[in-house]
Amino acid sequence: MRTQDDVKAAIRALGVETASWAFANSGTRFKVFGQPGVPRDPFEKIADAAQVHRYTGAAPRVSLHIPWDLVDDFSALAAHARDLGVEIGAINSNVFQDDDYKLGSLANPDAAVRAKAVQHHLQCIDVLHATGSTDLKIWLADGLNYPGQDSLRDRQERLAESLATIYAALDDEHRILLEYKFFEPAFYATDIPDWGTSLTHCLALGDRASVVLDTGHHAPGTNIEFIVMMLLRAGRLGAFDFNSRFYADDDLMVGAADPFQLFRILHEIVSQDAHRPESKVNFMLDQCHNIEPKIPAVIRSVLNVQEALAKALLVDPDALVKAQADGDVLGANAVLMDAYNTDVRPLLASLREDDGLDPDPIAAYQRSGYFERIAEERADGAQAGWGA
Amino acid sequence: MRTQDDVKAAIRALGVETASWAFANSGTRFKVFGQPGVPRDPFEKIADAAQVHRYTGAAPRVSLHIPWDLVDDFSALAAHARDLGVEIGAINSNVFQDDDYKLGSLANPDAAVRAKAVQHHLQCIDVLHATGSTDLKIWLADGLNYPGQDSLRDRQERLAESLATIYAALDDEHRILLEYKFFEPAFYATDIPDWGTSLTHCLALGDRASVVLDTGHHAPGTNIEFIVMMLLRAGRLGAFDFNSRFYADDDLMVGAADPFQLFRILHEIVSQDAHRPESKVNFMLDQCHNIEPKIPAVIRSVLNVQEALAKALLVDPDALVKAQADGDVLGANAVLMDAYNTDVRPLLASLREDDGLDPDPIAAYQRSGYFERIAEERADGAQAGWGA
Amino acid sequence: MRTQDDVKAAIRALGVETASWAFANSGTRFKVFGQPGVPRDPFEKIADAAQVHRYTGAAPRVSLHIPWDLVDDFSALAAHARDLGVEIGAINSNVFQDDDYKLGSLANPDAAVRAKAVQHHLQCIDVLHATGSTDLKIWLADGLNYPGQDSLRDRQERLAESLATIYAALDDEHRILLEYKFFEPAFYATDIPDWGTSLTHCLALGDRASVVLDTGHHAPGTNIEFIVMMLLRAGRLGAFDFNSRFYADDDLMVGAADPFQLFRILHEIVSQDAHRPESKVNFMLDQCHNIEPKIPAVIRSVLNVQEALAKALLVDPDALVKAQADGDVLGANAVLMDAYNTDVRPLLASLREDDGLDPDPIAAYQRSGYFERIAEERADGAQAGWGA
Amino acid sequence: MRTQDDVKAAIRALGVETASWAFANSGTRFKVFGQPGVPRDPFEKIADAAQVHRYTGAAPRVSLHIPWDLVDDFSALAAHARDLGVEIGAINSNVFQDDDYKLGSLANPDAAVRAKAVQHHLQCIDVLHATGSTDLKIWLADGLNYPGQDSLRDRQERLAESLATIYAALDDEHRILLEYKFFEPAFYATDIPDWGTSLTHCLALGDRASVVLDTGHHAPGTNIEFIVMMLLRAGRLGAFDFNSRFYADDDLMVGAADPFQLFRILHEIVSQDAHRPESKVNFMLDQCHNIEPKIPAVIRSVLNVQEALAKALLVDPDALVKAQADGDVLGANAVLMDAYNTDVRPLLASLREDDGLDPDPIAAYQRSGYFERIAEERADGAQAGWGA
């Protein structure tokens, strides 16, 4: 059993990366509901992200999305982040919102469109240079809506070639994080629909390409922690996009839909020591706060990851190994459940107090007056959304 | 076995209702791709819908959506439709795109919002009066994203009360068509998620309330033709929203994803004589043509329904009943498959020629120059979308 | 907020009904693994069930399955149960293991088979008389493997007629509990696949017919607590078959796969006061312990239900109602999560000590030597299975 | 466009491999319904399989299952097959029906059990030698029912080591065909749940290891033809286990549940020329005929594969490539649908007549009196089942 101090130290070492777009407006295809105080530019998004770190002490980096977060001077943006106590994290490319990408980007049948999409990624590598980030994160909307619409096989060849061109432009300290998704926005076939496809491309690219596992991007019933284990075994789990879902890619707060699943995922992580920074697994949030206030929702999400990690750290490894070796099905399961059923909130409150933080980050944020201030200050101007 | 003439007569009698919004721009939460020639107002939408009827002879009505299709003078719109050879079909209410509806409409916890949503439906009943339509079609986005967000039970009581108020305002010849949907845009709980819930409300309302079955609104693996049968048995199948899907509510062209399922649905329809106009089942399309040209996609969809109906009409009922009574599993299945495997395109081409139509409606439309004309004429002005 | 004493009293009042067949061998279609000490007859099954009640104080009844539990003298069996501190619960009919039922039982196309299946249910009503049980529980395997195999509609008519005959034979204090199941063993269509179909039949039968909700009998992603709410609202939730699942009808221990879902179900139960005995909701287990020892697995299952109930009772109703009325999405969700995140094991241990039980029922059972005794005593003779 | 003669030649070249166990009794966990005339030993199974080839001319090989098909003299069995016009196909190992395998076989935590399971595979390689078969097909039931029951990661290491030992024992002309399955009989985690895991192991083993794709072994909504394409692209599609499903691993007749999906799979096959024998893709059936007569069900299945292949061969490749290159979504889809909507039964009847076969294989079989003969001849003795 880990000591309480060891557990605390391990939790302290895990930083959750927030996403700039989580603070902007988002919604479904039916409606985007605006919220008061929503940021109007990347600087304001980072200011909001910094609030999450301020109250949790556990969200030290912010992912950007290009072009949503395009600014004239990225080093100014990076300095702004540092001033607020956070750093720029992964740079996400966006090749799904330009009219040219209607039939795909890196796998488009038209070579000119593919070249444009590759070029966009080279621009993102420039942002890596300007911000000091090392992670180029790629999620593609590429796919087909109708059988026959394009050649499934040819699209893989085009995709492989486009990715190779991008990979060749990376610096040594850079890496590609390649995401997969079961469906949406393509409804018949997606060009990278599963971890097998993403891993196949990463293996072909080289050592500096790893898979992104978005917890909402799987078929119903998929055992996600199994995939976590397989990717760790292959040395290719680059990052998580954490969120939760009941049905499809619902992008709800992580831990909200199935907290036991989140715990099982963290148990696989802890079992392979991948919670440690040296593992280079980037624990990111990728969520849409469509109806709930965004900053406290992100705070809650960070707390949920911490709680799941704390429980995973409380699993008694010796008792587990013994019960497993004995073929004691109920006993081994009970070791896991004992940890899961523990109320870890007092431990996390104590950790925060150790670190000079308020034990209740959401209450502290709400008392701070920050929301009231931004709601007033940002009343004018266009709110940022997924396309702004 | 039905004679070829009987089959033709039955197909001729079935009119598929198109939807005005299918001709406007639509997309996913990630991107709406505009298309050339897209209508700018309800009159242009109806003009496009009339093209579908012109070449198929099988799409005599157009559903409207309020407020998307709000016009000052609905009798003028109805006259416009009649001039083009079509009629106004069902009137769809929309209570999901106003900021007030963020937490629901007819089931909202706030009585003022519920009253506003009820009032919108009364306005839709005015449109029924103005257009001569009889069908008030209700799909609600109401639901919850997070457990605990609201009381599941209280929402049902509020919903029942709101629906009762609307029902009381109907004329005798009017009816409510109440749709259900498994999920989206609500991600934890939907207030009318399944046919059981919709039927429960319809039974409470009275004889003039029936269920709408959207073929994309079910859990994975759901046997849709079974539900068709149950609703017909209960005398409460009011309408279809036809479309097709591989995953969720993909809203692809009907028959594109699983043509055998469409055939099985039509087989249940034909088995209970519900393809006849007297059944009052409204066969509507509800689709999104996100990447394909809209008018030919709707034509293709109408043809797909006709082909499935033709195959269902070709099932040999005597052979089927005999094999079923004998417990001949393979034989009974073979009777169905024989009809399904028949190429009915020649029969439908012949029917069209009988009726003075081109045997190939899509080719005829494409030769007509209509698309080129609207692409030019409608180059200026704002294209209609789901919100316009 | 309920006081701790109120919570304890409410937990004390809820008895979980165990199933005789859970103590017999079970498996998948691939293999049934036998276990040492498995009962050889209904008397031994009841003895095992009594062990569960002995250590939990919360499992006072045992369901029987006919013909698996056919005995010459049911009053002797009932007396045997009473001697061991438990009572006979629901009587389950079995019309899926006789060769005549290959194409169905109550819905079979052959009138003679239907009559035989009805007759079996009349025999079960005799068992109600002999044992003093009031619940006739009906789960049907009826359905089709291939489209066209039989008429979906005719099967409903036959089913309705068969059920009406059985219903007519009930005494006033009896009731029918009618179960639904999404699929398996029928793979194309199931005759009672969902709560809508079961409820339709119950409404047609009369007041003494209610629905059984088996938590494993739904499509992927189905919101089960919503159905619980709807059935309670209709006054027709007769019973639960508790178990848990990751994929299909896995029949794992309740609470093992998704403890948060179990909590949400119990929250709906508590919200409508249906945990009280007066609600007449029968909380039953229906599980297969294929690889784990059966008695401790059933004890664990009872504890899991108690823990979920305890958490549901700890939800602060005033805080919840207030947050919901305020449209405070995060706040309302947090009220629920606060209860869920509470470690209720100390409270339950305290309750057991209040009642003179060991605070750790599984440890107490394991120390008792019962397993070693039955493993030895029952070494000879044929072990009971699903078919024995 | 291929000429009719080319289409016929391609169909003629594709042999579907039947499975010996398909002719034996099978069922669900609830009940195995026996059928008259079911084989009592491997020789009779092969005799039945030979009937399928006799009437279709398209089923020249029969897979065996060890130990179900253990005989003293495998060369006698192979000679018996040749006498009846068929050959022995793949050899399937079975490590899921021995009590020792309750917690797994090649991945079992107990080294002695793993050694036993490896030894069983070495015995299967002996059968390869004795029968002249080249394909050792491995499907494992290995997995967990409960979280924590065993280490997901350690199981992969054990599995990899066991597979390597087996692989090392292969002759040069042998190959391993490694199957994956989403779930069942394990309900929490399966050790080879998806193509990514199977491919990972095959790549580690060497060139002579390929993946088996069973069409029923996927999560709901999985795009199976995409996986076909990816495995062909990787040069690792070893074999199909054809069957069809509505829900889980239903093992219905191939093409019965979703004939359009089967066509799309064959379209990917034809697109990459993998229907030719040189591709070494083994097209096998793996089905359970629980309620329908087995021999005609297998004949129907072979016909369904032929019909899907014929339709795939009728896709106009030039028109398809052109429409795809033009970004003509509807046009490209229409090229596919034109082929799918063609009634290919006359073409196949003509091919059979060319080859001296009855144009209607099922009718010819039924007229032959074979069933009546075996029903009488095999009335005594124990029928073969999954375990016999």
Q: Does some domain include residue A386?
A: no
Residue D170 predicted with pLDDT over 70: yes
Q: Do D223 and A271 touch (CB under 8 A)?
A: no
CB contact under 8 Å between C156 and B103, yes or no, is no
C-alpha to C-alpha distance for B260 and D256, rounded to whole angstroms: 10
Q: What are the C-alpha distances in Å from D115 to residues B52, B384, D122, D204?
A: 68, 68, 10, 20
Contact criterion met (CB < 8 Å) for D246 and C183: yes
Residues with Cβ within 8 Å of residue C365, at least 6 apart in sequence: C51, C55, C295, C296, C299, C371
Q: Which residues of chain D have a Cβ shorter than 8 Å from any chain B Cβ?
A: 220-221, 223, 246-247, 256, 258-261, 291-293, 296-297, 300, 307, 329-330, 333-334, 340-343, 345, 362
What is the CB neighbour count within 10 angstroms for residue D350? 13
Mean pLDDT of chain B: 97
The pLDDT score that the predictor gives to residue A387 is 58
The answer to whether residue D198 sits within a structural domain is: yes
CA distance D117 to D99: 12
Instruction: Give the angle subtended at the CA of C268 by the CAs of C266 and C270, to the nearest 5°.
Output: 65
B341 contacts D343? CB cut-off 8 A:
yes
Mean pLDDT of B9-14: 98
Neighboring chains of B (3 or more beta-carbon pairs < 8 A): A, C, D
Tell me whether residue A96 is in a domain: yes
Contact assignment for D307 to B341 by CB distance below 8 Å: yes
Q: pLDDT in tens for each of the 388 residues of chain C? A: 899 999 999 999 999 999 999 999 999 999 999 999 999 999 999 999 999 999 999 999 999 999 999 999 999 999 999 999 999 999 999 999 999 999 999 999 999 999 999 999 999 999 999 999 999 999 999 999 999 999 999 999 999 999 999 999 999 999 999 999 999 999 999 999 999 999 999 999 999 999 999 999 999 999 999 999 999 999 999 999 999 999 999 999 999 999 999 999 999 999 999 999 999 999 999 999 999 999 999 999 999 999 999 999 999 999 999 999 999 999 999 999 999 999 999 999 999 999 999 999 999 999 999 999 999 999 999 999 875 4
Q: Residue B198 corresponds to which tokens in the numbers above?
A: 């919709």
Q: What pLDDT does residue C385 have?
A: 87
Judge whether B385 lies within some domain.
no
D345 → chain B, closest CA residue: B341
Neighbours of chain A (3+ CB pairs under 8 A): B, C, D
Residue A292 to chain B, least CA–CA distance (Å): 9
Q: Does B200 sit within 8 Å of C230, measured CB to CB?
A: yes
| Cβ <8 Å between B333 and D256 | yes
Enumerate the residues of chain B whose CB falls inside 8 A of the CB of residue A94. none
pLDDT at D75: 94
The answer to whether A292 contacts B96, with C-beta atoms less than 8 Å apart, is: no
Residue B270 lies inside a defined structural domain of this protein: yes
C-beta of residue B312 within 8 angstroms of C-beta of residue B270: yes
Query: C33 CB contacts (<8 Å, ≥6 apart)?
Result: C25, C27, C290, C291, D99, D102
Q: What mean pLDDT do residues D99-107 have?
A: 98
Average pLDDT of chain D is: 97
Q: What is the pLDDT of residues C97-123, one digit of tens each?
A: 999 999 999 999 999 999 999 999 999
Is residue C106 within 8 A of residue C142, CB to CB? The reply is yes
b/e C93-127 (16+ beta carbons within 10 angstroms → b): bbbbebeebbbbbbbbbeeebbebbbebbeebbeb
Q: Kindly determine whether residue B345 and residue D345, on different chains, have CB atoms separated by under 8 Å.
A: no
Rounded Cα distance, D293 and C143, in Å: 18
Q: Find chains touching chain D: ≥3 CB pairs under 8 Å.
A: A, B, C
| Subunit contact B30:A182, Cβ cutoff 8 A | no
Does B388 reside within a domain? no
In a domain, B208, yes or no: yes
Q: Is it the case that residue A208 has pLDDT exceeding 90?
A: yes
What is the total count of domains within chain B?
Answer: 1
Q: What is the pLDDT of residues C288-319, one digit of tens each?
A: 999 999 999 999 999 999 999 999 999 999 99
Interval A40-70: pLDDT, tens: 999 999 999 999 999 999 999 999 999 999 9
pLDDT of residue B388: 46
From chain C, pick out residues whose CB is under 8 angstroms from the CB of A223: 246
- Write the pLDDT tens digit of every residue in B116-159: 999 999 999 999 999 999 999 999 999 999 999 999 999 999 99
Query: pLDDT digits over D172-213, tens only?
Result: 999 999 999 999 999 999 999 999 999 999 999 999 999 999
Inter-chain residue contact C110 with B327, CB threshold 8 Å = yes
Task: Choose among D197, D234, D271: nearest Cβ to A230.
Answer: D197
Average pLDDT over residues B349-368: 98
Amino acid occupying residue C55 = Y
CA quadruple C212, C217, C218, C224: dihedral sign: positive
State yes or no: pLDDT of D387 exceeds 80: no
Of the pLDDT bands very low, low, confident and very high (cuts 50, 70, 90), residue B219 is very high
The pLDDT, as a whole number, for residue C25 is 95
Interface with chain B: mutation pick from A145, A182, A287, highest number of B CBs within 10 Å: A145
Residues written for chain A: 388
Q: Say yes or no for a CB contact (<8 Å) between B330 and D246.
A: no
Q: Which residue of chain B has the CA closest to D339?
A: B343
Q: Which residues on chain D are in Cβ contact (under 8 Å) with A337?
A: 148
Indicate whether A385 belongs to any domain.
no
CATH number at residue B170: 3.20.20.150
Q: Which of A145, A257, A386 sits opposite B290 (nearest CB)?
A: A145
- Domain extent, residue B190, equals 4-378
User: Under an 8 A CB cutoff, do A145 and D336 touch?
Assistant: no
Which of A221, A246, A247 is the closest to C246 by Cβ?
A221
Four-CA torsion A93, A96, A97, A101, nearest 10 degrees: 120
- Across the interface, of D153, D193, D196, the residue whose CB is closest to A223 is D193
The residues, any chain, with a CB within 8 Å of residue C367's CB and separated by 6 or more, are none
Which member of D152, D268, D271 has the closest CB to residue A226?
D152
Strands B135-138 and B87-93: parallel
Residues of D with Cβ-Cβ distance to A311 under 8 angstroms: none
Give the angle B97-B98-B102 at the CA atoms, nearest 5°: 90
Please give the pLDDT value at position B387. 58
Q: Measured between beta carbons, which residues in chain B are less than 8 angstroms from residue C232?
A: 153
CB-count burial class (<10 Å; 0-12, 13-18, 19+) for C164: middle
- Whether the upstream peptide bond of residue A109 has omega within 30° of 0, thus cis, is no
Task: Decide if A185 and B248 are in contact by the 8 Å CB cutoff.
Answer: no
Q: Would the CB atoms of D188 and C252 count as touching at under 8 Å?
A: yes
- Does residue B308 register a pLDDT over 80? yes
A226 vs D contacts (CB less than 8 Å): 152, 189, 193
Nearest CA in chain D to B341: D343
In tens, the pLDDT along A312-367 reads: 999 999 999 999 999 999 999 999 999 999 999 999 999 999 999 999 999 999 99
Encoded amino acid at C185, one letter: P
Instruction: Quote the longest CA-to-CA distance of chain B.
Output: 66
Structure tokens at C382: 């044929």
Query: Which chain C residues are within 8 Å of B220, Cβ to Cβ?
Result: 219-221
- Chain B residues touching residue C188 (CB < 8 angstroms): 223
C199 contacts B320? CB cut-off 8 A: no
